[in-house]
Amino acid sequence: MTGGAETVRAFLRRSTFEQHAGIDAHAVLAPLASPSLTQDAYASALGALRGWYAAIESALRPWDERMPFLDIAARRKSHLIAADLTVLGVRSVETWEAAVDARIADEADVYGALYVTEGSTLGGRMLAGRIRGSLGPAAPLAFYTAYGEDHGRRWRDFLAALECAPSRGISRAAIGRGADAAFGALRARLDAASALIDMVCA
Ligand code: HEM
């Protein structure tokens, strides 16, 4: 970390704030935080998220060994979404993975995409409490309680690696572009899911 400069995390939080606010308020995800959440709406949200997580995780796979200090393989979560969807009675979950534009071209994209997937665990913990409140103690929460008690350490470990990126010659701006692209792909995935839900419910 260079003296006085904004941390990489602070830069990313600031530069992706609008994107995050848009995702957080999206019609497919907003019900998650609402006391009137239904099982169907929960399943729709998880179904949409699974496509994006699965696509990002596939795109990150070639970097598992090339960037071991990021522990990428241990951070995969799309299988947890599949487990929750099965508990919710969703039999065939088309991942729509192919429809997600998840390009990871370089190390900056790896840091950017992981910032979005790992940062989402912060809100995820809050959402787990809301979902349990709305759907009851039997609500499947494997995804939203990913990492269990190890959550804090996982996030801190990621932040420690992230702050070392500039000393490896990787700029904040490049990582920011990677995070923007990951949020953009998620947004497109949620919009497509919205259109599908509207079509099915019309
Ligand atoms: C209803 C949906 C969501 C809610 C309510 C929500 C809520 C939150 C909350 C409360 C935080 C912590 C902010 C803080 O520490 O000040 C957060 C951080 C974050 N969330 Fe979300 N979130 C949602 C969905 C998502 C999704 C789907 C993603 C991406 C897959 C995401 C990515 C992030 C990131 C990257 C951070 C920032 C981490 C940092 O502090 O640097 N969020 N979210």
pLDDT tens readout for residues 24-36: 999 999 999 999 9
Contact 48, 193 (CB under 8 A): yes
Q: Is 29 in the pocket of ligand 1 (CB under 6 A)?
A: yes
Q: Give the mean pLDDT of 154-179.
A: 97
* Residue with token string 């039997």: 138
* Average pLDDT value over all residues in the chain: 92
Compute the distance between CA of residue 37 and CA of residue 32 in angstroms, rounded to an integer. Answer: 6
Which pLDDT does position 34 carry in this prediction? 96
164 DSSP assignment: T
Name the residue at shortest CA distance from atom 24 of ligand 1.
24
Look at residue 83 and tell me whether its pLDDT is greater than 60: yes
- Of the residues 16, 17, 20, 130, which should be mutated to test ligand 1's pocket, given the most ligand atoms within 8 Å of the CB? 20
Indicate the SS3 state at residue 137: coil
Which tokens in the block code for residue 147?
């990492």
Instruction: Name every residue whose Cβ is closer than 8 Å to that of residue 122 and which is 6 or more positions away in sequence.
Output: 155
**Has this prediction a pTM greater than 0.75?**
yes
- Higher-pLDDT residue of 196 and 142 is 142
8-201, what's its fold?
Heme Oxygenase; Chain A (1.20.910)
